[in-house]
Structure 1
Amino acid sequence: MSVLPPADDEDVPRYWRELGLPGLVDVHVHFLPDPVQAKVWRYFALAETHYGAGWPITYQLPVEERLAVLERLGVRAFPTLPYPHKPGMAAWLNEWSAGFAAGRPQVLQSATFYPEPAAAGYVAQALDDGARVFKVHVQVGDFDPRDPLLDDVWARLEETGTPVVIHCGSGPLAGDHTGPEPVTGLLERFPRLQLVIAHLGMPEYREFLDLAERYERVHLDTTMFATDFTERLMPFDPAERARLAALREKVLLGSDFPSIPYAYAHQLQALHRLELGEEWLRAVLWRNGARLFTIAGQ
């Protein structure tokens, strides 16, 4: 490839410009209410205990400074991806996320849900209020996505075609309901769901590639994928690269900013060194996300 990967964060704008892009669309960014964000960062501070590896947070900064970092990088559109870990949180997170997105055109208004009787009602309200993407975290929420309490939610999201970023792979920690089986069962019932499989489904990469090939609206995001950090813990089989190349139109840039243990530029370096070509990179870094969320300039 004639374009060189970014050397560091300051070099990221040069990288996407040389690829002929207007910027980046990152579908896996988190902005959370301060108490929730603080709790998440306390959890990562104990990562050695949880994961057997340290997880220093590179962008543990105040909100406005984090927004400024994304602006300097050229991330033109990103969600906030809230997620509850217990009943009674989701509606509040949705209200907070809507308020955060208001007046910030670069923010894709986000929402979430949890298997509880009120879920269908507050999901409908979030859609009416302008939610453009939902987040589900099967491991943190500790629930089966096939829970009957979510039937009406999935039916509505299938009908509207609203993207759902779903953390359902068994990495970095397995849960009672992680892995490909629950999501496969969900898609058998709701085959038109616009799911975005977070982290490319790590470590069950092969099985989630299967689902992206089988279901027209299933996408994959690159969050932490192929980075040095992840390759040490959950390596990707190089034999699967050809399948990843063939799925070019269904792979979306994701980063997990701000809670990543390396510079943002390293995610782009990791994707670049897969050697899948500049057209693949243009699709992943901008075109696919711009198409999914109807971002101007696509």
Structure 2
Amino acid sequence: MTAGTDLDYVTGFRERLGLPGIIDVHTHFMPEQVLRKVWTYFDTAGPLVGHREWPITYRDEEQVRLKTLRGFGVSAFTSMIYPHKPDMAAWLNSWSADFAARTPDCLHTSTFYPEPGAPEYVRAALESGTRIFKLHIQVGHYHPADPLLDEVWGLIQDAGTPVVIHCGSGPAAGEFTGPEPITALLRRFPRLRLIIAHMGAPEYREFLDIAHAHAGVLLDTTMNFTDFFEAADPFPTAELPRVRDLGDRILFGSDFPNIPYPYGHALFALERLDLGDDWLRAVCHDNAARVFTLG
């Protein structure tokens, strides 16, 4: 797709389905110096991206990226932030709160890290109206059930605030990735509203099992079913009936701007699954509108 055909496809996709907009629960807006470092890491094809070439399609300034996303008809999105070390999360939360205040269509996003001060800044984030949290287990290199997070998980469970958590072992496995740490976490905090990023790739079956066992667990489609993901971690076609059956608990995510293909390809990848227009409407708008009480 070229830039023009990409926009045409996304516009046609929305019109065909009668969508008032697309809700994208997995987009990255973060402090410029942090985002530039993330892009530099992708450019090096380092181990955390599986040593794959990963060109950034939307390597633009913040206001240009916002204009691009809105041009696609995205009516609500997130600012997925995540720390890779202690003493970073509170600063990221401060930036993200300011970003949400000046960007009304962005869901106020926060994060945390296993450290002594986490309960204090998570409580502050909840009190300030954060709508969603983001964690990246592979990059942060910690067990999600770390005792330092006990109070944090209790606060979030009681608040019912969703947490997008990159916990699958793709694109590269980490010491604490995979379904077992999430199962351990949910054993202690069964009412958490986790959104499993990338549908738990490549442990698709196991994370579908977790979603079936826990009514509060959702999955996002970030990069799933695209040619890029299918080349490395193909989704098992035998599991597609379960994806259809869980259609009310799957949310669209893109990973914009850090994707190596045009935005429309993520939607095309879902459309070619042939799971039906009702499924697409739910995934690309209605489910997130319900979860986040959006119009």
User: What is the aligned partner in structure 2 of residue 40 from structure 1?
Assistant: 38
**SS state at 1:91 partner:** helix
Q: Which whole-Å CA distance do the structure 1 matches of 2:102 and 2:174 have between them?
A: 37
User: What is the aligned partner in structure 1 of residue 244 from structure 2?
Assistant: 245
Change (3 A) 1:273 1:7: farther
How far 1:103 sits from its partner (Å)? Answer: 2.8
Partners of 1:13 and 1:23 within 8 A in 2: no
How far 1:47 sits from its partner (Å)? Answer: 1.5
Unaligned runs of 5+ in 2: none
Q: Which whole-Å CA distance do the structure 2 matches of 1:217 and 1:161 have between them?
A: 9
Aligned residues: 291
How far 1:7 sits from its partner (Å)? Answer: 5.3
User: What is the aligned partner in structure 2 of residue 3 from structure 1?
Assistant: none
**SS state at 1:102 partner:** helix
Q: Which whole-Å CA distance do the structure 2 matches of 1:142 and 1:227 have between them?
A: 27
Partners of 1:9 and 1:263 within 8 A in 2: no
How far 1:268 sits from its partner (Å)? Answer: 0.3
Q: Which whole-Å CA distance do the structure 1 matches of 2:87 and 2:164 have between them?
A: 20
Q: Which whole-Å CA distance do the structure 2 matches of 1:235 and 1:14 have between them?
A: 27
Unaligned runs of 5+ in 1: 1-5
How far 1:52 sits from its partner (Å)? Answer: 3.5
Q: Which whole-Å CA distance do the structure 2 matches of 1:54 and 1:147 have between them?
A: 33
Q: Which whole-Å CA distance do the structure 2 matches of 1:149 and 1:271 have between them?
A: 38
User: What is the aligned partner in structure 1 of residue 66 from structure 2?
Assistant: 67
CA RMSD of aligned residues (A): 1.2
Matches within 5 A, 1:1-298: 8-47=6-45, 50-296=49-295
**SS state at 2:77 partner:** strand
Q: Which whole-Å CA distance do the structure 1 matches of 2:142 and 2:51 have between them?
A: 24
Between the aligned residues of both structures, percent identity stands at 56
More deviation, 8-17/146-155: 8-17
How far 1:216 sits from its partner (Å)? Answer: 0.8
Partners of 1:17 and 1:23 within 8 A in 2: no
Q: What is the TM-score with the length of structure 1 in the denominator? A: 0.96
